[in-house]
Chains A and B, each alone.
Chain A
Amino acid sequence: EGQVVESGGGLVQPGGSLRLSCAVSGFTFNNYWMSWVRQAPGKGLEWVASINEDGSEKYYMDSVKGQFTISRDNAKKSLDLQMKSLRIEDTAVYYCARGRNNFRYWGQGTLVTVSS
């Protein structure tokens, strides 16, 4: 049974940076695409970014292109999301999930609050 645990969320001022991490166990990490999905307060789920098995392909939602960077370390079985120039509208619970088509094995999420 796969497990995913996100970390790194917190309170950050507008314009600030934050790095989220996701630790994986229970499945062969380097065999799968991985993704980040977020949920703003009171809103629905929103796909943010995906990365392929070896990190050579990355896709982002338009509003975070050039602002967020997804990366992975297969040796450490970890997925990261580097976020910079954060805006109030980036406030959300960020989920790590396995896959790029069918999102299986989600974590509980980590809360990012962008506020002054």
Chain B
Amino acid sequence: QMTQSPSSLSASVGDTVTITCQASQDISNYLNWYQHKPGKAPKILIHDASILETGVPSRFSGSGSGTDFSFTISSLQPEDLATYYCQQFYSVPRTFGQGTKLEIK
């Protein structure tokens, strides 16, 4: 079970935003973060809690281990409008957080 917060977030261009994800049990670093834009395929941004996918801008970052994780976007850009999800791969079923809908003011 993954508990993600907040469910929605509004911020301005240039802001730093942070999303958190809490696991119901110790999942080590078996956690990914995805970006999902409306009408598009979801995209993995961070794998293994803190490793940036190739080609993903460095303003995206992840941290955490065990049960508590965070995902940060620094210097928010207009194209970051999307819903963001955490996902654990410690056990089956694979589970996603409820999602955080990010709006740009």
**Which residues from chain A sit less than 8 Å from chain B, CB to CB?**
4, 35, 37, 44-47, 50, 59, 61-62, 95, 97, 100-104, 106-109
Q: Which of B30, B42, B92, B94 has the most CB of A within 10 A?
A: B94
Given contacts A44-B83, A102-B47, list 20 more A-B pairs with CB under 8 A.
A44-B96, A45-B36, A45-B42, A45-B85, A45-B87, A45-B99, A47-B93, A47-B94, A95-B41, A95-B42, A97-B42, A100-B89, A102-B32, A102-B44, A103-B44, A103-B87, A104-B44, A106-B41, A106-B42, A108-B41
Task: Tell me the interface secondary structure of chain A in the complex.
Answer: strand
Q: Are B30 and A45 in contact (CB under 8 A)?
A: no
**Which residues from chain B sit less than 8 Å from chain A, CB to CB?**
30, 32, 34, 36, 39-44, 47, 83, 85, 87, 89, 92-99
**What's the Cα separation between A106 and B85 when bound, in Å?**
15
Cβ 8 A contact of A108, one of B40, B94, B98: B40
**What's the Cα separation between A38 and B48 when bound, in Å?**
22
24 A-B pairs within 8 Å (CB atoms) are namely A35-B94, A44-B83, A44-B85, A44-B97, A45-B34, A45-B85, A45-B87, A45-B96, A45-B99, A46-B96, A47-B87, A47-B95, A50-B92, A62-B93, A97-B42, A100-B89, A100-B94, A101-B30, A101-B89, A102-B47, A103-B42, A104-B44, A106-B43, A108-B40
**What's the Cα separation between A70 and B42 when bound, in Å?**
21
